[in-house]
Every structure is written in C-alpha cells, then in structure tokens.
Amino acid sequence: MKSSVSERSGGASYLRDGVRNWLQDLRRTPFARRPLPPGPPRRDRLNGHLSEIRELGYVRAMRLWTDTYGSLVMTYLGPPVLGRRLLVITDPAIAEQVLTQEERRKFLLPQGAPMVFGDKAVFCTDGDAPIHAERACLYARHLTPPLLRRHSALMREIWDEAIERIATIAVGASSARRFGINAEVLRVAQRVAIRCWLGVDVCEREAHEALERYYDPGSLLSQSFFDSLYFVGAAQRVEKLRTTYRPILERALDRIVALGDRWEDEAPELGFLRRSLVHFGWDLARLGAADGGDRRALLDDLEIYRHIFSAMLPAVGSTGGTMLFLLHYLGCDPGLQDELAAELAGADLLDRPRPTPLLGRCIKETLRLHPEAIGVSRYLDQARELGGFHVPAGTFLFVHLHGLHRDPSSYPDPERFDPARFVDPTAAHGGRWAGFSLGRMSCTGRSFAELHISHFCRSLLARRRARVAAGEPLLDNDYQGSVTLQPRPFEVEFEWSRMSRETGV
Ligand code: HEM
C-alpha cells in the first residue's frame, strides 16, 4: 500500500528559495562588476520585464529584445529577490552548445506550493532528478517499433472516423465551411493520446474535459507571473486533474485486471500504465483485490495523475498545435496538398510508422515557424563564458526558439513557409533548428508526435482538400492561456478531393 503524495502549501518555501538563491548568487559571483550581455532597461524594478511580456506577449517581447540588443540578451523577470535572471539566446552556435552540453535543467519558477513546477513538476523536470531519467525510460519503452505500429493502427482508426465529422460534407454539396476547428482537432488528439497511453477509449464529454485540463498549466503559468493569489487557482487546477482522469484511470485498471497475462497480446498499449504502476511501487495483484483498498488509494494518489499528464500535455498541446498550424499552410497551397496526398497514399504507415519524406519536411518547417515550446530553459549552477560574456551562476539560459528559427542568416526569407528548405538535411544542423530541442534532454515523444501528425494528414488528404481564405493571416495565441503555441481560430473550407470525386470513394 502506498501513501498518497500530499500537497505542500508553499508560499513560505517559495519566498525562502528565492532569498536563498539570491544570497547564493551574491556569494558566488560578483556579477555586478563583470560584463553582462546587454538587455533592455528595466522600467519597473518590482516586476522586472514582466510588464513588457504582459503587454506584448512572450514571443513578441523577446523578439523585440533580441532584434534590438542582439542574439544574447540579459533580462530580469520579477523583483530582485524572487525574480529570475534570464539570458535569452538566439545565436545558433551558442544554442547548440547550451542544449547539447548543459546537464542541468529547470523550469523558470522554483518549486512552489502546487508542485506543478520544478523538481516534482507535472511536465518539466530537473535533468538531475531521478524522475527525469525514470520517465524518459518509461516513455522509451512505450515507443518501441512494435508499439509504434500498434499506436499507428489506433491513430488511423480514430482519425479516419473523426475527419469525416470534422470535414463533414453533405451529400450533393461540394464543400463545407468551418470556422475555428481548433478545439475539435485537439479533442481528437486527446482521444488518441488516451487510447495509446492508457489503453481506453473516451466519450466526447471526457475528451472535452481532459482537453480543459490541457489549458490549466498555461493559465497557471500566467497566473504565477501576474497574480499574487495564484496558489488558490493552482490547488483547484491540480484537484481537477485528479477528478477528470479518475474515471479514465478506473477503466484502464479494470482492463489491466480483466486481461491479466493476456494484455501483451491483446492490448499492448496498456504497457505504459502497467509499467508506470510497478515503477511507482503499486502491486498489480492487490489493485485487483476484492477489498479495493489499494485501488482506492491509487485513485486518490496525485502522483500518478501528474505522471499520466506528463504524456497527455505534449501529446495534445504540442502535437495538436502543430497539426493546426500545418493545416493552415496546407489550406493555402493546393499543390502541396496533392503532392502530400500522393506520397501518403503510397506509404504504409502501419508497417513503417514514421513520416514520409515530404511530410517530414513540412513538420520541420511548421515547427521552424511555430515552435510549440516558446523556448527551452537550462539552469546554470556555475558561472560560464558564453559568446564572450561572463554569465553568472543562477542564471536561466533560455534558447528562444521562435527567434532562433527566424534568423535570416540561417533561413533566408524566414517568414515564408517553404518545406523545401529541409531537402538538404544539414539545413537543420549547427543549432539552427531545435523544434524538439537537442541533446540528452530533448523531446522523448518525438516519434509518437510525428506519427500522429502523419495520420492526421493521411486521413484528411485521402478524401478531402482544405482551403484557407486567401490572405487570411495566421495569428497565434502567443502563450496566453496555454503552455504551447496555438493558432487563433481560423476558417477552413473542406472540399472533396478530385480523386474522391472521380472514384466516388
Ligand atoms: C509536435 C509535438 C512536440 C513538440 C514540438 C515537442 C517539443 C519538445 C521540446 C522543445 C521539449 C524540451 C526539451 C528540452 O528541454 O531540451 C520537449 C520535452 C519533452 N517532450 Fe516533447 N514535444 C512534442 C510532443 C511530445 C509528445 C507526444 C510527448 C509524449 C507523449 C512528449 C514528451 C516530452 C517529454 C517527456 C519531454 C521532457 C520533459 C521534461 O522532463 O522536462 N513530447 N518536447
């Protein structure tokens, strides 16, 4: 029997950590006397540069700084004691050096009351913390080639059916116009994620509720920066995580118990949960016991929900966001859709569960322009020389992917969507492209995400063509309300593809 993880109320520890870090900084590095990279003057010492971020959004504020001050910018978030010193990096060589060599990793905020960030974070973890390596191992074991083939079959089934609903075209009509299909696409992405990682199917309402949870960490992040009472909201959001996933977890447990040793042949997608339960110290036999004691304890245990959510968040947010941005670009380019449809029609994604060459380039180009992660952070616990500057210990290094990917010396005419840039694979080398990050801390779920996007495109283009009104701008949410970049709702028109019209399929 395992005791549940209790939540700490941590306003005090937040303050304590802030003061401790500040004192350590002062002791270790007399940084005031050494050169620092240039940065924008602080308008408000109490908030650091948060007010600019509040006004402009994360991406745009940081772009403004890097455009003005260069590819290394020192900035400050929050007041001196609690705040964070942040080195914003858009120089490819330094980005590569930092991402591939830097061992440690932390999110921007210290571990606080709701334990949604930091060492025990729902998603981002400290690279030195054991949970990081353990999680990576659990993910990797669920993404082996045979399991990817299994995921591929599930994705195909779900998307084939879902696309029919999303792009519904009444008999006789040649096209259907849809505005803001974002939530629908994300809901299907959510359904696929739950099916592949927890082995159960969910209804519309459950998929919808789980999708609501995806928005919580984003709102929490904004609250923690801008709202001094964020602890209250945090506790409620964490509790909702448990309530939402509880019935889903219950059904998954029922399946695990009912299938017994047959799970590996009949439902290998249950493997992630089975292995995770063993990893967290639960006795599978006792979870099926008639008295139900262990089962109740598990269903109350917040740690397991956090763990599950660490797969759900990127499998829905980052993956679904990429699908939506890509859909917009496809909708602007009928020729590209035909080319991609032909390539995907000839591919066997069940046997070779990975993106086809042109699609691989489209995914790279979409993530170049719209990196789902605003940037990748690393925590410096020792002072370093970077780009000729002395960067003190205690600084967060922040590789700003948006700026990095739109550097005209890496990618001429950087605002234009052009998958052909990556025909030469070296175009992504030298730290110029880091859509899934680089090095040992890079994304563990890349193969899953790319396969998922492949199925979305295959199912869509097998029968439909998307059209986005000419000149409709592609706007994004700039990280307001979500932790991944999402496009603002846009209008798409779905038509029968020529092939479908001719063959009547
Ligand atoms: C298009 C979709 C995705 C994109 C663009 C993406 C991108 C990223 C990026 C940039 C990082 C940061 C790595 C670093 O700190 O160096 C990351 C980390 C990670 N990703 Fe993904 N990701 C995607 C999908 C997924 C999926 C589907 C999963 C799992 C199901 C996943 C699991 C993870 C994990 C576990 C980490 C490490 C988190 C940590 O411990 O800090 N990702 N991803």
Which of the pair, 235 or 378, is modelled with greater confidence?
A: 378
Cβ(372) – ligand 1 distance below 6 Å: yes
> At residue 118, does pLDDT exceed 50?
no
- Model confidence at 127, pLDDT cuts 50, 70, 90, reads confident
pLDDT confidence of residue 1: 41
Report the percent of the chain where pLDDT is more than 90.
59
Tokens of 32: 């005031």
152: exposed, middle or buried (Cβ count in 10 Å: 0-12, 13-18, 19+): buried
What pTM was computed for the model? 0.91
Distance separating alpha carbons of residues 486 and 480, to the nearest angstrom:
9
Residue 441 CA, closest ligand 1 atom number: 16
The Å distance, Cα 465 to ligand 1 centre, comes to 30
Q: What is the pLDDT of residues 267-314, one digit of tens each?
A: 999 999 999 999 999 999 899 887 788 999 999 998 898 889 989 999
* pLDDT at site 6: 35
Ligand 1 neighbourhood includes 376 CB (under 6 angstroms): yes
HSE value, Cβ hemisphere, 13 Å, CA-based, for 357: 8
**Token pair 């052909």 is at which residue?**
420
- Among the listed residues 248, 294, 300, the one whose alpha carbon sits nearest the alpha carbon of residue 273: 248
What SS3 state is found at 206?
Answer: helix
Q: Is 319 in the pocket of ligand 1 (CB under 6 A)?
A: yes
Structure tokens at 290: 């008639």
**Candidates 139, 276, 436, 441: which one to mutate for ligand 1, based on the most atoms within 8 Å of Cβ?**
436
Kindly give, in sequence order, each residue whose CB lies less than 8 Å from that of residue 76, ignoring residues fewer than 6 positions away.
39, 42, 48, 49, 83, 84, 85, 86
Please, which pLDDT band fits residue 10 given cuts at 50, 70 and 90? very low
- Please tell me the distance from the alpha carbon of residue 401 to that of residue 403, in angstroms, as a whole number: 5
Q: What pLDDT, on a 0 to 100 scale, did the predictor assign at position 113?
A: 41
Residue 478 has pLDDT above 70, yes or no: yes
Q: What is the mean pLDDT of residues 369-380?
A: 90
Instruction: With beta carbons less than 8 A apart as the criterion, state whether 109 and 79 touch.
Output: no
Q: Going by CA atoms, what residue is nearest to atom 16 of ligand 1?
A: 442
pLDDT tens sequence across 410-432 = 999 999 999 999 999 999 999 99
Cα–Cα distance for residue pair 320/329, rounded to 1 Å: 15
Atom of ligand 1 nearest to the CA of 315: 27
Residue 290, burial from CB neighbour count under 10 angstroms (0-12, 13-18, 19+): exposed
Q: What is the CA radius of gyration of the chain?
A: 23
Strands (E), 49-199: 72-77, 84-89, 175-179
308 Cβ below 6 A of ligand 1: no
Q: Pick the most confident of 19-33, 110-124, 402-416.
A: 402-416
Where b means 16+ CB within 10 Å and e means fewer, 23-49 reads eebeeebebeeeebbebbeeeeeebbb
Domain spans in the chain, listed from the N-terminal domain onward = 11-128+374-434
Residue 194 confidence (pLDDT): 98
Q: Can you tell me the distance from the alpha carbon of 255 to that of 275, in angstroms, rounded to the nearest whole number? A: 14
Most confident of 23-37, 388-402, 456-470: 456-470
Listed residue (399, 394, 424) closest to 411, CA to CA: 424
